[in-house]
A and B are shown apart, each in its own frame.
Chain A
Amino acid sequence: MPQAATVTASATPYAIEVEDLVSYYDSRRILDEVSLRVRPGEIMVVMGGSGSGKSTLLRHLLGLNRPAAGRVSLFGADISQASARELYQLRRRMGVSFQNGALFNSMTVEENVAFPLREHTRLDERTIRIMARMKLEVVNLAGFERLMPAQLSGGMIKRAALARALVMDPSLLFFDEPSAGLDPVVSADLDELILRLRDALRVTILVVTHELDSAFRIADRITVLDQGRILITGTVEEVRNSPSERVQNLLNRRSEEIDVDPEEYLRRLTD
């Protein structure tokens, strides 16, 4: 497998370990003692509705947010305590496919994909070009390397972003809403690709999504977040068969009646 992290790391069987993570935006508690473990080579899908805290959890895993309490470790290295240099080393082992693609509009598709290699390695330019084109082959974008992002469809942008996320051969791959905005066929194609990547490269994959069909297709395990807390973490079957009313409401896309505290409600309206 790819090189071991050079940051101080403890021996662990997990690629990702989150322990009692607490996070706030201003005074609002977004994550409330969240704990999660992901094994190497596993596809973990984090599900939840809007405002459940799943995007905040992803930001913590990427080292973009610091925990108010708790710990986030990748390959045994505590990123909550990592220096900027240590975080850089860990990030070289991560690939991130952002929801909107986050491609550079002023660069061609190939330049976008090659960008991390040009920034972070000293590989020969011919090697870089072959690597970028190989990744475009993997995501079925061969022949589109000279196009600009503005010339791509939504599905193509997602695949180009994935090619860029893969170009450094990461040990850990994060997807933020990979299916959002895609038609069902394109979405299913992307799911198949995610499964092929895991099988071929044994990469650990964490997917944040609210798309049920996609989650059930690709997940080894699913964790369901609701209002900043984990409702359940389990296999697809365990989640499907969960007796929890909240989990079933999420799976069946039923909205929940929100508990109203009249005093608190009035205070929110009038404060």
Chain B
Amino acid sequence: MSYQVDEKDGYAVVRLTGEVDLNRSPDARRVILDCLQKKMPLLVDLSGVDYIDSSGVASLVEGYQLSRSRQLDFGLIGVSDAAMNVLRLARLDKVFPIYASLEARLKDTR
């Protein structure tokens, strides 16, 4: 797994790429929590994720929980089919705010 952090339109956008598994998810967790510690609204781009296991999803859950407690916007964008299958299995597709893209998030008035 690799990751890249960009700032765009007031959001930190964390793009995860490759396989987010037990060995790599601590890196994903750290970068997600770091962004939120800096009080930045956060979007996690999963369009390049080929595989994500439950440790990776747990990092997303923890990030979402922290963002809510800090009243920061949080969402998943460009969720790949592989990632969506895992989210659906645990019914987390009903929990996370999910958008097609950053632009879609900006247009959404939620």
Contacts and interface: CB of A to CB of B under 8 A. Distances in A.
Interface of A: 1-3, 121, 123-124, 126-127, 130-131, 134-135, 137-138, 166-169, 196-197, 199-201
A56 to B, nearest CB: 31
A134 B56 CA distance: 12
B43 interface: no
Specify which of B21, B57, B89, B91 lies most central, judged by the most chain A CB atoms within 10 Å of its CB.
Answer: B89
Contacts of B19: 1-3
B105 interface: no
B62 interface: yes
B88 A169 contact: no
Contact of B55 (A1, A137, A169, A201): A169
A138 B89 contact: yes
Contacts of B21: 2-3, 169
Given A138-B90, A169-B21, A123 B26 contact: yes
A170 B19 CA distance: 14
Dominant secondary structure at the B interface? helix
B67 interface: no
A201 B90 CA distance: 11
Contacts of A121: 22, 55
Dominant secondary structure at the A interface? helix
A134 B25 CA distance: 16
Given A121-B22, A127-B25, A134-B58, A2 B89 contact: no
B16 to A, nearest CB: 16
Q: How large is the interface on B (under 10, 10 to 19, 20 to 34, 35 or more residues)?
A: 20 to 34
A3 B58 contact: no
Contacts of B61: 130, 134
Contacts, number: 61
Nearest to A134: B90
Given A3-B21, A138-B90, A127 B53 contact: no
B86 A201 contact: yes
A184 B88 CA distance: 26
Contacts of B37: none
Which 4 A-B pairs give the minimum distances between C-beta atoms? A169-B53, A130-B58, A200-B89, A200-B85
Interface string B1-44: 00000000000000000010111011001000000000000000
Contact of B57 (A1, A124, A134): A134
B63 to A, nearest CB: 11
Given A2-B51, A124-B26, A169-B21, A131 B89 contact: no
Contacts of B92: 134
Given A130-B62, A135-B54, A3 B23 contact: yes
A124 B89 contact: no
